[in-house]
Amino acid sequence: MKTKTITPILATAILFLAACQPAGRQEAADLVLSNGYVYTVDDARSVAEAVAIRGNAIVFVGSSADAAAYIGDDTDVRDLGGAMVMPGIHDMHVHALGTVEPDMCDLGSESLSLEEMVPVLQDCMERYEIAPGDWLIVLQWAFSSGNQTSDNLPNIRAALDAVSTTHPIFLWGDDGHHGAANSNALAMARNEAGEVVGLDAASLAGEFADFRPMIGVDEKGEPTGGINEDARMLVRPQFFEDMLGMSGNPETIMPRVARRMAESGITSLQDAIVTPESLAMYQWLEDSGQMTFRLRAALAEPPSENIDEIDAHLEFLKTLRDKFADSKLIKANAVKLFADGVLEGNPLSSPPTLPVAAMLEDFKQPIFGGSINDGSFDIVAYVDQDRDSCKSVQADPAAYASIDRIKAFESEYGFYPQQCIPRSGILEHEELFTRTYIRKATEAGFHVHVHALADKAVRIVVDEFGKVKDIADRNGLTQSLAHVQIAHPDDQRRIGELGISVVFTFVWATPDVQYDMMVNPFIDEVAGVADLYNMDHYYMQNVYPAKSIQDYGGILVNGSDAPVSSRDPMPLSSLQQAVYRGNGEVVLNAEQRIDIHSAIAAFTINGAKLMGHDDRLGSIEPGKIADLIVLSRNIVELADNGEPYKIGDTEVTMTVFDGKVVYEQKRQTVPDQSN
């Protein structure tokens, strides 16, 4: 007699059907959500009406009529009135502690001219009673908007000096990569030995020469106040404490972090830079029973550039990983590495400051003219670095270093001699260090998450990921890139072939002329603002290449990078831009739009795959853990009706975490998870 074999897939399907089609009265659920549009994110993208939850598990997904079998005397029943339900959001690149505003001077990413900024900062001095000689630390400076100069304030250094000459002042850019300092602060810059050297033309030509690409200078070579990337640490090394909120009392900060995540519908996250100190704050939150999300900690890279010290650093990280091996909500099993910086230059400085992130090709050298104030500011020409005058500078740069020679050159040619020097940006570390760290971290059993924003860094990291893929696959490890603002088409294809996860901050895929003037003209020869979004340009063809990477087989994942740009993780605004990529007038390469189903997957099941728990989370299916959210609008219908630009106005009205309602509009509860 021939028997039929039930495959694991068929067995799963039978169990699913049994759960979806109950026969008669069932054991009562604790929570039933009925009369909704339940977007399950299962393999079939099926839609149901109701969900029943018992304990922390989903026990039923199906019709409202059948869900009645799970309703007992003590069941909490919610009639959703047709509202959309989807799995809880995974934010796989966020700095969660920085999402709550500390009690200190914060510009809130407001666009201010330099003249407008001065009284605002002077008010901060008074409000926070900054004593003479003490630091004024300013957060969320909008480095990419506003900052218009004036005759009295020709640069950010002059503006901060106008605020005070008796206090060191430091502004942290809202992108986490830019900064600004006044003269007092610049004079306090220290070398590796801890000696005060100061930042000026002389030290930038000598001891701090390696940091020169990260510091804005005037025609004399003197700093104009803009100080970016690692150069900021020369002046103000307390980046984690200031910018990312990794200081203070956990009793004050962490419950607010939990509320922020619950209000945003974020039920799982990867904190992209975790130190032992911030990990202890997360532990406090879990121990307190107030944690409303699952955490993967991407542990911070070593402070040293010495390859020989990587092994010892990873051994220390293993102790942190082991400490949380039995934690229900915290896993310290990932590492974070910076491969490069960011791509914004400064068109308002003289000469223009180039971007920092490393590109495969040299940056262009645009010449800007006109005024921001009257709207005439534009690209008027480009430096031809092959002309004889530039060849002379390239042959003997020192001959053009004096102020008289610089002024004479600028008067004759209309640009500065330093604009003749070809530059393609810099990597955050030496290439060998980056490759070695990726390999050693993978061999040590860590998931590796790398900030790779520009095409050169993307190429190096993708190549090394390919070399260690067998090790990663053997040990069930994930490989992920963060941001990928621009990637060469060859590397887009390679990302897909390797099945790498790309954590896009989709909300950044939004056209914005003031921001894009800081990027596009340095990568392509742009014929003025009107040509900024020309699809013939390399940047426009390859900016945030989400659809291409997905089509090649790469995995798209959401990561807000909050508090960068905004303390609010803005998941629905980001999801909108994954689908829309527009501002109502211009689209940032329409060919890279993804459909609403791919976008929701990027925010749910794909994040769960990256986090390694998609067998338990990321979709609404019987047997999975009940992490889900209710929305004020049906975002699938908005997209299907040609209104994706309305998705960002959607609100999270309820968040269910581990089977408990942890957030409702107008009512919030925090479950006791200490047991």
Render 472-523 in DSSP notation, one character per residue.
HHHTT--EEEEE-SB--HHHHHHHHHHT-EEEE-GGG-S--HHHHTTTHHHH
- The C-alpha atoms of residue 473 and residue 460 are separated, in whole angstroms, by 20
Q: What was the pLDDT predicted at 241?
A: 75
pLDDT classification of 211: cutoffs 50, 70, 90: confident
DSSP-H helix ranges across 421-454: 431-443
- The C-alpha atoms of residue 311 and residue 328 are separated, in whole angstroms, by 28
- The C-alpha atoms of residue 500 and residue 178 are separated, in whole angstroms, by 28
pLDDT classification of 28: cutoffs 50, 70, 90: very high
Whether the per-residue pLDDT at 576 is higher than 50: the answer is yes
> Six-digit token pair at 9?
């897939």
- The three-state DSSP-derived secondary structure of 537-599 is CHHHHHECCHHHHHHHCCEEEECCCCCCCCCCCCHHHHHHHHHCCECCCCECCHHHCCCHHHH
3-state helix, strand, coil in the chain (%, to 5): 35, 20, 40
Q: What was the pLDDT predicted at 18?
A: 46
Query: Class of 8-87+619-664 per CATH?
Result: mainly beta
Taking CA atoms, 674 is separated from 257, 325, 661, 670, in Å, by 18, 17, 16, 11
Q: pLDDT tens digits for 320-330?
A: 999 999 999 99
Render 95-150 in DSSP notation, one character per residue.
-GGGGS--SS-B-TT--B-HHHHHHHHHHHHHHTTPPTTS-EEEEEE-TTSB----
Least confident stretch, 67-76, 210-219, 648-657: 210-219
Least confident stretch, 92-96, 359-363, 408-412, 461-465: 408-412
Q: pLDDT tens digits for 443-469?
A: 999 999 999 999 999 999 999 999 999
Q: pLDDT tens digits for 110-165?
A: 889 999 999 999 999 999 899 988 999 998 888 878 888 888 999 999 999 999 99
Q: SS3 of 296, please?
A: strand
Left, alpha or beta for 119 (phi > 0: left; psi -120 to 50: alpha)? Answer: alpha
Of the candidates 625, 270, 294, which has an alpha carbon nearest to the alpha carbon of residue 447? 270
Burial 67-99 (b: 16+ CB within 10 A, else e): bbbbbeeebebbebeebbbbbbbbbbbbbbbbb
Of the candidates 491, 486, 485, which has an alpha carbon nearest to the alpha carbon of residue 461? 491
More confident residue, 79 or 103: 79
Q: What was the pLDDT predicted at 601?
A: 98
pLDDT classification of 17: cutoffs 50, 70, 90: very low
- Residue 231 CB: number of other CB atoms within 10 A? 23
pLDDT classification of 379: cutoffs 50, 70, 90: very high
- The C-alpha atoms of residue 624 and residue 621 are separated, in whole angstroms, by 6
- The C-alpha atoms of residue 511 and residue 593 are separated, in whole angstroms, by 13
Q: SS3 of 639, please?
A: helix
Percent of the chain with pLDDT over 70: 95
> Six-digit token pair at 634?
């049906």
Whether the per-residue pLDDT at 3 is higher than 50: the answer is no
Burial 148-165 (b: 16+ CB within 10 A, else e): bbeeebbbbbbbbbbbbe
- The C-alpha atoms of residue 486 and residue 452 are separated, in whole angstroms, by 9
More confident residue, 239 or 91: 91
Whether the per-residue pLDDT at 309 is higher than 80: the answer is yes
Taking CA atoms, 353 is separated from 146, 177, 201, 214, 228, in Å, by 16, 14, 15, 9, 11
- The C-alpha atoms of residue 204 and residue 606 are separated, in whole angstroms, by 45
Mean pLDDT of the chain: 92
Average pLDDT over residues 224-228: 89
Q: Maximum distance among all alpha carbons in the chain?
A: 100
Q: What was the pLDDT predicted at 532?
A: 96
Q: Crossing angle for the helix pair 596-603 and 571-579, nearest 10 degrees?
A: 140
Q: What was the pLDDT predicted at 173?
A: 86
Whether the per-residue pLDDT at 48 is higher than 70: the answer is yes
Q: What was the pLDDT predicted at 176?
A: 76
pLDDT classification of 192: cutoffs 50, 70, 90: confident
Whether the per-residue pLDDT at 640 is higher than 60: the answer is yes
Q: What was the pLDDT predicted at 22?
A: 56
Q: SS3 of 317, please?
A: helix
Are the C-beta atoms of 165 and 183 separated by less than 8 Å?
Answer: yes
pLDDT classification of 14: cutoffs 50, 70, 90: very low
pLDDT classification of 673: cutoffs 50, 70, 90: low
Please provide the distance, in angstroms rounded to a whole number, between the alpha carbons at the two ends of the chain.
52
Whether the per-residue pLDDT at 15 is higher than 50: the answer is no
Are the C-beta atoms of 447 and 335 separated by less than 8 Å?
Answer: yes
Q: What was the pLDDT predicted at 13?
A: 45
- The C-alpha atoms of residue 192 and residue 181 are separated, in whole angstroms, by 19
Q: Exposed, middle or buried by CB within 10 Å (0-12, 13-18, 19+), for 374?
A: exposed
Q: SS3 of 90, please?
A: strand
Query: Class of 103-243 per CATH?
Result: alpha beta
Whether the per-residue pLDDT at 587 is higher than 60: the answer is yes
- The C-alpha atoms of residue 301 and residue 610 are separated, in whole angstroms, by 20
Beta bridge mates, 629 = 86, 655
pLDDT classification of 350: cutoffs 50, 70, 90: confident
- The C-alpha atoms of residue 596 and residue 638 are separated, in whole angstroms, by 9
DSSP 214: G
Taking CA atoms, 67 is separated from 212, 533, 551, 621, in Å, by 65, 52, 38, 14
Render 353-395 in DSSP notation, one character per residue.
BPP-B--SSPPP-EEEES-TTTT--EEEEE--TTSHHHHHHHH
Average pLDDT over residues 75-96: 97
Q: What was the pLDDT predicted at 672?
A: 52
Q: What was the pLDDT predicted at 193?
A: 87
Q: SS3 of 641, please?
A: coil
Are the C-beta atoms of 297 and 271 separated by less than 8 Å?
Answer: yes
Average pLDDT over residues 272-298: 96
Q: SS3 of 628, please?
A: strand
Domain boundaries, the chain: 8-87+619-664, 103-243, 366-420
Average pLDDT over residues 81-92: 98
Q: What was the pLDDT predicted at 237?
A: 85
